[in-house]
Amino acid sequence: MAATTHVPPATSLRDAYRAFDPKPLESGDPYFVDLTKARDSRAAEKLRDTIEFCEPGHAAIAFAGHRGSGKSTELLSLLYAMRHLCFGIYLDIIDYLDASDLQYTDLFLLVARRVLDELREAGIKLSSGLLKDVEKWFCEVTKETEETVEFAAGVSTEASARAEIPFIARLLAKLTADIKVGSTSREKTREELDHYFSTLVSYVNALVADASSKLKDRGRPSSILILLDNLDRVPSEKSEQLVFAHGSELQSLPCHVVFTISIDTYYSAKNIGTAFPHNLILPNVKLRKGKSDAGRNEEGIRALLRVIERRMDIKALLEPPELAKRAVELSGGSVRQLMRIMGEAILSASSRKLNMLDAEAIEDGGRALRQEFQRILTPEDYKLLARTHESKEIDKSEPYMQLLRNVSILEYNGKDVWHDVNPLIEPIDAFQRAWSALASSATT
């Protein structure tokens, strides 16, 4: 991990609110806390080992987990940890593409664009002949020209910059920008690229392979590592299509690639192992010992308390400081949920003109998130949640997958895999009624 810059815990509500921003942490971030033991999972270590142990450029890994479980932070840590072995490229698809309407061809366009950009920024030139061939093919297929690229919104550049940026790089930037904003040319471009998909794959693979070769010539790590983050934001149907219908093409890239996928895709009856033999899931932090042991998991509780203590001076801002444990309890072991609870609690205290968080503020933090569940859950959902709370299990039916997706149900593992209802849901009257009805039916 990169050297950590010390940042003292916040002593004001304003600074604490900023510290609890639920954004991914880069390596060396002063707020980072190693949650490996708290999760009772070695997923992050296995991720690194798989890349290191595989042949150069041959690790394609599906990386799953609940939203907010810490996948992005782990990927950024991986990028730093592998810097001496790999040329790393981190791609948050939200920055470049439309996650709600993602197609497999979009990913190949994005990889080609960012490989060109990253190599140029590193001062490494790819083979001019290859670039000309790729450029010519894209122009023929998409009917783009220097003029259409030049005047496209968002990619017009000064003459001096144009001279430094190859036309193919500007063309790919335009195509991905059109896809992200949903321009009228998007579907036409996708249709043409899909028609010539094998050629698209061949050219993108050629660019990646040439980049690897040029890195080696310059004495740089020649194994390229691409991290495609936030693919778990893709709708379920499209996610399954990406993984199971086009997984083999995605894995054909001559580099290491990590694909984040949604937790329900990981549970698909199509079997993630058939599409991605290398697959891992990052569980939430365990706050109880296990499926059949309701005892407190002190390791997990202490770890999440450290997450809070890194960000705020609990003696200065929590009255009493023991309220931090209540926030951890409400989080269910979800790091993002903990961040959001604390952020809402700070706003509650501030709105009441307090300088510290009290018990009401922490409960308000939980209540704000609880109301989000109340708005989306149905009577049938509460029945399923009650069953999961009782059995610590789920089945693979779509209603359960929906509850996994929206974090109404949380997954934990270690020696065994188990599930439980999000603790924010437990106090809801509708859940309590479903729970009581389940208990009554068990006694009759």
Q: What is the pLDDT of residues 184-217, one digit of tens each?
A: 778 888 899 999 999 999 999 999 999 999 999 9
Is the pLDDT assigned to residue 164 strictly greater than 80?
A: no
The residue from 249, 281, 313 where one domain ends is 281
Is the pLDDT assigned to residue 46 strictly greater than 90?
A: yes
* 213 and 189 share one domain: yes
Q: What is the pLDDT of residues 353-382, one digit of tens each?
A: 999 999 999 999 999 999 999 999 999 999
* 153 and 213 share one domain: yes
Strands 60-64, 278-281: pairing is: parallel
Residue at 60 is within a domain: yes
Q: Residue 100 gets which letter from DSSP?
A: G
Residue at 39 is within a domain: no
Q: What is the pLDDT of residues 220-259, one digit of tens each?
A: 999 999 999 999 999 999 999 999 999 999 999 999 999 9
Q: What is the pLDDT of residues 291-338, one digit of tens each?
A: 888 889 999 999 999 999 999 999 999 999 999 999 999 999 999 999
* 146 and 276 share one domain: yes
Domain count along the chain: 3
Residue 376 to residue 371: CA distance in whole angstroms: 9
* H helical segments located in 66-166: 71-81, 93-96, 104-121, 128-142, 146-150, 159-164
* 273 and 415 share one domain: no
Residue 444 has a pLDDT of: 64
Question: Coil, strand or helix: which one is 259?
Answer: strand
Residue at 27 is within a domain: no
Q: Are 338 and 31 in contact (CB under 8 A)?
A: no
* 214 and 89 share one domain: yes
Domain CATH for 333: 1.10.8
Residue at 46 is within a domain: no
* 256 and 384 share one domain: no
Residue 188 has a pLDDT of: 86
Q: What is the pLDDT of residues 97-154, one digit of tens each?
A: 999 999 999 999 999 999 999 999 999 999 999 999 999 999 999 999 988 888 764 4
Residue at 33 is within a domain: no
Is the pLDDT assigned to residue 160 strictly greater than 60?
A: no
* 308 and 244 share one domain: no
* 190 and 132 share one domain: yes
Residue at 30 is within a domain: no
Q: What is the pLDDT of residues 374-419, one digit of tens each?
A: 999 999 999 999 999 999 999 989 999 999 999 999 999 877 899 9
* 310 and 403 share one domain: no
Residue 308: give the domain boundaries: 1-20+286-370
* 292 and 397 share one domain: no
* 108 and 226 share one domain: yes
* 398 and 423 share one domain: yes
**Residue 157 Cα distances to 80, 116, 136, 275, angstroms:** 32, 17, 21, 41
